[in-house]
Structure 1
Amino acid sequence: MQSSFEVLRKLLLMQGQRETVSMVHHTGVTVATGIGSPASHAASSYLQPPPLVFLVDVGVVHFTPLVQPQIQQPFKLVEKVVRNVFQFRRKHCHKGVEKLFPEACRAELTQEMMQQADVDPILRPTELTIPHIRALADAYASLCRREPGLFGYEFREELRLKRLGAGYSPAADALRDTSGCTAPC
């Protein structure tokens, strides 16, 4: 009985594949050429496929927190701003900033926040720098101080209440009362 290596070698020699045969002999790698030809089909029925090999690069990263953070705002506030800004990564950053505010005041407060932060509203979130994020967080904190209930606003809750029904909802009224829009927008 012949080994699969010998069968492959004979089939490849019959096809005139001398270079491949010598490579198979020296490396011990099973190679089949001429896919679709009767000889390669016969060779493939005798051979097992070579095992898959994966190359993996590994690295270790160590993060050391700064003694003095670059953004001097509470973590929850910074997290909320960053989460909303990066929610729409491929859109302009003002689309994410809009979601920080109730629908009734959204346009005005978004424009005010972007102007106060001096950030170009058509930048994409991935183009924002740490100073941009700091300015946005500072502007949002100033709006939250002016409108006390604004920080507690979550646009997903407003969407959920809209889906529940367009009729009267005491929960929707309570949300509107604490949303931070005390003045008509």
Structure 2
Amino acid sequence: MSSKRAAGKSLEGGVVCEIGPGPGGITRCILESGVRELHVVEKDERFLHSLNILNQASGNIMKIHNEDILYFPMATIFPEDLKQKWDDRPPNIHLIGNLPFNVSTPLIIRWLEQIADRTGAWKSGRVRMTLTFQKEVAERLVSDILDDQRSRLSVMSQNYCNVIHKFNIPGRIFEPPPDVDVGVVHFVPKREATIQVPFKVLEKVVRHTFHFRQKMCKRGISTLFPSDEPNLTKRIFYESDVDPSTRPYLLTLEEFKRLCNVYYDICKENPGLHIKEHYEGVADLDESKMTTEELEFHYFQLHDFDNNTKLDGLELFKAMSHVLPSEMIDDKAKDEIDTGKTQAQIDKEKADRMFKYIEDVVDKILEDDDLDNDGFLTYWEFVYARKKQEIQAAAEKNKKKFS
């Protein structure tokens, strides 16, 4: 695959950050295009040797980062002389990547927020991205109205970027090969987003709307407000001039813009409203009165943020933070902490250990319990994983009791 086809534009003289290069198939093409510098971010240590060989052959213009892209400080790697003002043409800086399927959706949402705020890589200007996704996610990213694949991801992406589904690639050519085909999507940040409210406001309105994607949009919009304030739901539709009977996937960007503008005005009149969640039937349920089966579904639904009936890596991380037994997390956080440290240092170390413990649990679940190996957990895979965690917690509790 040529680098020009992968990125859509000449890379000559530019700086590229490649995410998930694996053994270096696309990396070779990027190097051959005459880039000034190439940063590769690869978490899997199995590929470091082949990447080092490529670096030596290229004259050491590669910088290899054996890190997780979720935590990689991308803003620090791009040179000052390539930066452009936001309204100017995009800088000769590119993100090219084979994203891990289990984190691709939350990762692109995070990057869209950085585009909105002009932070991270986008401190350097309108940095372009050429990224791979599962084919169905790639199609969702570019879905227009009348397409029942249109989703929260479609609206968020198209608000901040011009998004093009370039082509598809058979999954078998990747190493290791996924079980699904892959879509290549090109993003060019817009000079001005269509919807100008703060990112968190837009994300919340769109998320709530699509939470009930097959119902009239008034059902999802109503969950933005407390159940004892029905007039606020009526107001948002009256002032935005949006038909409340419209299905979410039929709403245009312009209609979402009007909904968001009215919602933002209501939030400014009612401080604190925006930071509260009002999912009737989801977040406000009394967990103490639920059956085991109802509780399982509640946890799953509560953390399925993009409403695609599957949990990706970050959604699963949030879910396990919520459902792992607190004493189990606390015990892991307290292990081997040097009591000679200050309280602030101890608290930070505990927090870091808790984070690492939950991250390890999520990695283990995706490795062992993702039965169809697609990088996501279905509801039943999630239930199975939860049962295993409960059994493990009980076993560890008994072990301590009798030791």
TM-score by length of 2: 0.26
**What does residue 96 of structure 1 align with?**
220
Q: Distance in 2 between matches of 1:158 and 1:58?
A: 35
Render the CA deviation track for 1:122-167: whole Å, top value 9, x for unaligned. 000010000000001001001001111211111249965550579x
Could you say if the C-alpha distance between residues 73 and 160 of structure 1 is closer, same or farther in structure 2, counting changes exceeding 3 Å?
closer
Determine the structure 2 residue equivalent to 1:120.
243
Aligned pair partner of 1:60 in 184, 198, 210: 184
Number of residue pairs matched by the alignment: 111
Query: Partners of 1:78 and 1:111 in 2: how far apart?
Result: 19
Please list every run of 5 or more consecutive structure 2 residues that lacks an aligned counterpart in the other structure: 1-168, 171-180, 290-403
Q: CA separation in 2, counterparts of 1:155 and 1:142? A: 18
Identity of aligned residues (%): 41
Which of 151-160 and 110-119 deviates more?
151-160
Task: Give the Å deviation of 1:60.
Answer: 2.2
Cα 1:160–1:87 change in 2 (3 A) is: closer
Q: 8 Å contact 2:224–2:279 — kept in the other structure?
A: no
- Paired amino acid for 1:79: E
The equivalent of 2:255 in structure 1 is 132
Instruction: Write the mapping of 1:2-21 to structure 2, written as runs, cut at 5 A.
Output: none
Where in structure 1 are there 5+ consecutive unaligned residues?
A: 1-54, 167-185
CA pair 152-67 structure 1, distance change in 2 beyond 3 A: same
Cα drift, residue 100 of structure 1: 0.3
- C-alpha separation between the residues in 2 aligned to 1:118 and 1:74? 21
How far apart, CA to CA, are the structure 2 residues paired with 1:59 and 1:81? 27
Matched residues in 2 for 1:137 and 1:79: separation? 10
Letter in 2 for 1:80: K
Which amino acid in 1 is paired with 2:215? K
CA displacement 1:63-110 (0-9 Å, x = unmatched): 1110111111100000000000011110000000000001111x2110
- Cα distance change of structure 1 residues 65 and 151 upon mapping to structure 2, 3 Å threshold: same
| Map of 2:276 onto structure 1 | 153
Runs of 4+ in 1 over 3 A off after TM superposition: 55-59, 156-162
Query: Given residue 89 of structure 1, which amino acid in structure 2 is its aligned partner?
Result: R
Cα distance in 2 between the residues matched to 1:149 and 1:158: 21
2:197 corresponds to which residue? 73
Match of 1:179 in 2: none
Q: Which has the larger radius of gyration?
A: 1
Partner of 2:93: none
More helix by share: 1
Residues 28-61 of structure 1, C-alpha deviations (whole Å, 9 max, x = no match)? xxxxxxxxxxxxxxxxxxxxxxxxxxx9475522
Structure (1 or 2) with the greater strand fraction: 2
Instruction: Select which of 133, 141, 144 maps to 2:267.
Output: 144
Please say if residues 209 and 217 of structure 2, whose CA atoms lie closer than 8 Å, have aligned partners that are also in contact: yes
SS for the counterpart of 1:64 is strand
**Residues 150, 158 of structure 1: CA spacing in aligned structure 2 closer, same or farther, 3 A cutoff?**
farther
Aligned AA (1:127): L
Distance verdict in 2 for CA 1:103–1:128, change over 3 Å: same
Specify the code of the residue in structure 2 equivalent to 1:100.
L
SS in structure 1 of the partner of residue 189 of structure 2: coil
Instruction: Write the letter of the residue equivalent to 2:260.
Output: A
CA RMSD of aligned residues (A): 2.4
| Structure 1 SS opposite 2:184 | coil
Please name the residue that 1:41 is paired with. Answer: none
